[in-house]
């Protein structure tokens, strides 16, 4: 039986422009503790839908976890702006805290 990431990788291979398959693959990769492998799929989703907050949050957090802070900051800032614009108070609060704790 294939893993979740293998299942979604097959779907992405068939439909590489499908952001929902890409997002599901990224989530599966993150669940498998493979954040570096999830980055390209999260970035694809974020670039395809400019108002989609969650891929930006996951992308930023993944980059922070990989110690790639300068790359993470703009994604987290974009996610915060979307959280504010879309009235998502809890994510906005979490993002403010995360950004405040990042090294300069």
pLDDT greater than 90 at residue 26: yes
pLDDT greater than 90 at residue 2: no
| Average pLDDT rounded to a whole number, residues 41-70 | 97
Give residue 102's pLDDT. 95
| Average pLDDT rounded to a whole number, residues 37-47 | 98
Task: List all residues 6 or more positions away from 81 whose beta carbon is below 8 Å from its beta carbon.
Answer: none
Structure pTM? 0.94
**Domain range for residue 65?**
4-101
Crossing angle for the helix pair 53-65 and 19-31, nearest 10 degrees? 30
Q: How far apart are CA 49 and CA 51, in angstroms?
A: 5
Q: How far apart are CA 66 and CA 40, in angstroms?
A: 14
Give residue 104's pLDDT. 79
Q: Indicate the number of domains in the chain.
A: 1
For 63-100, write each residue's pLDDT tens digit: 999 999 999 999 999 999 999 999 999 999 999 999 99
Residue 63: CATH number of its domain: 1.25.40.10
As a residue count, the chain comes to: 104
């Amino acid at each position: 039986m294939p893993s979740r990431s293998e299942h979604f990788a097959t779907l992405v291979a068939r439909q590489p422009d499908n952001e929902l398959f890409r997002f599901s693959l990224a989530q599966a990769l993150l669940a498998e503790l493979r954040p570096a492998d999830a980055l390209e799929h999260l970035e694809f989703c974020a670039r395809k839908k400019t108002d989609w907050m969650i891929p930006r949050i996951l992308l930023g957090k993944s980059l922070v976890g990989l110690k790639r802070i300068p790359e993470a900051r703009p994604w987290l800032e974009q996610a915060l702006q979307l959280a504010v614009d879309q009235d998502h108070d809890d994510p906005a609060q979490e993002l403010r805290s995360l950004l405040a704790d990042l090294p300069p």
